[in-house]
Amino acid sequence: MPVTTNAEVETTLSTRVARPVAALVTASFLLFVVSVPVGQAIAEKQKGDDSPLTSLFSRAPTKENLRQFEKDLESTSYAKDYVQPRIQLLLTRYGRVGNKLAVVGQGGWLFYTPGLTYLSGPSFLEPDVIRSREKESRDAELPIAADPRPAIFAFGEMLAARHIKLVLFPMPDKTMLQPMQLHGRAGQSGPVPVARNPGLSRLIEEVRARGIEVFDAAPEQVSPSGEPHFLVQDTHYTPQWMEKLAQDLSRVVEHDAPAAHGGALHAVTENVERVGDLVDMLKLPDDQSYFVPQKVTVHQVQDASGAAWEPDPAGDVLLLGDSFTNVFSMDTMGWGEAAGLAPQLSFALGRSIDVIAQNDSGAFATRLALSRALEGGDDRLEGKHVVVWEFASRELAVGDWRPIDWARALKGLH
């Protein structure tokens, strides 16, 4: 057997690069690195855009300013705007690769990453989890309250003092009700139990012990062969399931709201289509054809004159909601108008209702909007018997649950 000497091994592992080759590689690399900011500057000059570089020299180099500078560079990069969508399309098409917001499931289904984090993570009520989230937020100089209970209890107590019933409506996440479409394994032998974050049952128990009603919309189990609860490429539910929830919710509300008449309402069938908001989050090229628009049927609620449904501040039911409330009602979301949760709930109740809804931050934004209205002298709670607070259940694990100073807000009414 031949023996390999150290000299031979050394020769085998040695890599030699000729000086001209090394110079060419180095020059090419430097040229590439320099070409990006130079090309950016030229493009900004041609388009008359302001360069984010000016802010680097016009503001103090604080941690916050430098972080904002990085964000500005990323958001205004022409190279990134051109390259990233095309690379993302290749990764999604051939590797089922999503990004930090969208997870690619089976058969073209898309899922929202925070929803998966909520479902697969630890209990959002664990003290260590609460401390960790609050510490991370302080380190990022955006402090939040991670425990939802104080905010919910304080809101319920304020409403109870005004003889108003609070109905909590944590909207189930898509990952809970479409498991087969997520990973292709669950439910192969039949219906499976709906998975939940470990903290949800405990929260519901504690909330109900305080006299607050909870509308738990998640079914006990789901079947892969049943009608889907959610849109294929969107974070939101199907119009069919939304209308069923509105009917079920109306029966809960009727227990605490006396009979009322809100005028003759009727529903008109409309067909709408679009790619979902999760496709938007992937930031693919505008002309991509991998994801095609989904077609759905919605029922626009109208009054006797044929005008599209509108919220009524004089209604005795107030719905606080997020994008699950706005979808099918807010025209800019692309899924129709006056056909969402609020008009369907109004239709099911046969009465007018009031609405405060904002697409993001259902844990905090709508409570803040209500408190500001009260503080400004606009009593959005006058004549109300029930407040329904709808928010995405994932907010329990990722949302901001800062309590509102309701005593201060109510002073604005006096």
8-state DSSP, 8: H
Place of tokens 């380190």: 139
- pLDDT (tens digit, 9 = 90+) per residue, 266-297? 999 999 999 999 999 999 999 999 999 999 99
CA distance 392 to 365: 13
pLDDT at 21: 83
pLDDT of the chain, 414 residues: tens digit per residue: 555 555 444 555 667 878 888 888 888 888 877 766 666 666 666 666 666 656 556 666 666 666 665 666 566 666 677 788 999 999 999 999 999 999 999 999 999 999 999 999 999 999 999 999 999 999 888 899 999 999 999 999 999 999 999 999 999 999 999 999 998 765 456 788 999 999 999 999 999 999 999 999 999 999 888 899 999 999 999 999 999 999 999 999 998 887 766 678 999 999 999 999 999 999 999 999 999 999 999 999 999 999 999 999 999 999 999 999 999 999 999 999 999 999 999 999 999 999 999 998 889 999 999 999 999 999 999 999 999 999 999 999 999 999 999 999 999 887
pLDDT at 242: 98
Number of domains in the chain: 1
Q: What is the CB neighbour count within 10 angstroms for residue 205?
A: 10
* Amino acid letter, residue 366: T
SS3 state at 237: strand
pLDDT at 73: 58
CA distance 275 to 278: 8
pLDDT at 155: 98
pLDDT at 2: 55
Place of tokens 């929260």: 203
pLDDT at 226: 84
Q: Convert 159-174 into a string of H (helix), E (strand) and C (coil).
A: HHHCCCEEEEEEECCH
Domain-embedded: residue 83: no
**DSSP run (H or E) holding 249:** helix 239-254
Domain-embedded: residue 125: yes
Residue 278 contacts by C-beta under 8 Å, 6 or more apart in sequence? 101, 102, 110, 111, 112, 233, 234, 235
Closest listed residue to residue 194, CA positions, set 214, 213, 217, 215:
217
CA distances from 286 to 83, 283, 292 (A): 13, 8, 12
Residue 70 contacts by C-beta under 8 Å, 6 or more apart in sequence? none
8-state DSSP, 197: -
SS3 state at 317: strand
Domain-embedded: residue 214: yes
pLDDT at 300: 98
**DSSP run (H or E) holding 265:** strand 265-274
Closest listed residue to residue 342, CA positions, set 330, 332, 333:
330
pLDDT at 256: 83
Domain-embedded: residue 30: no
pLDDT at 341: 98
Domain-embedded: residue 314: yes
Domain-embedded: residue 269: yes
Place of tokens 């309701």: 406
Place of tokens 């130079």: 38
Domain that holds residue 302: 110-411
Residues facing 392 on adjacent strands: 171
